[in-house]
Amino acid sequence: MKKHWVLGSIVAACVVGVAAFLTTSKHDAPASTFVLLDGSQLQTKDLRGRVTLVNFWATSCTTCVAEMPHMVETYEKYKGKGYNMVAVAMAYDPPSYVVNFAQTRKLPFSVAIDNTGAVAKSWGEVALTPTSYLVDKHGEIVKRYVGQPDFAELHRLIEKLLQET
């Protein structure tokens, strides 16, 4: 009986510890080079000073395609207040598809192609799309979303982060 109590206490402590780590842990966004559709480059350090959503997506991902109009609305709503977005197309996504998608939908934010997979790897071995990271003005990852985010919750968090100095 005592053995089960000790084991249960250890498991409970681990669960609490992991939950605390996942909800309160902030860490710097990884150093990356984003190659944009126009051939220019953007470094992670260039994101500092703005609240930025880094969104890993693919043209073949139905959830990514479905969420993109909401991403555009979010960008348009907050771009003048210090918000930025980088949509990073996965390495398996044909560049011509990405360019066509960005042009036909008139994506107003930066679109990058991760042709080597190095960016997805550096951001935590991103394999599932969509996966998005919200980065604060100091370059720290505040939240990771796997799948389409709850946009009302995302907007509240963006507004909070925009107010911080």
pLDDT at 26: 73
The set of long-range contacts for 144-152, using a CB threshold of 8 Å and a minimum separation of 24, is 147/63, 148/63, 148/66, 148/67, 148/70, 149/67, 151/70, 151/74
Cα distance between residue 75 and residue 149, in whole Å: 14
Phi first, then psi: give them for residue 78, nearest 5 degrees: -115, -5
Q: Is the pTM of this model over 0.95?
A: no
pLDDT at 6: 39
pLDDT at 47: 94
pLDDT at 25: 58
pLDDT at 20: 35
Among residues 77, 40, 70, which one has the least CA distance to residue 55? 70
Dihedral sign for Cα atoms in the order 146, 24, 84, 80: positive
Task: Report the CATH number of the 28-163 domain.
Answer: 3.40.30.10
Q: Which amino acid is at 28?
A: D
pLDDT at 1: 52
Collect the ranges in the chain with pLDDT lower than 70. 1-25
Average pLDDT, the chain: 88
pLDDT at 165: 82
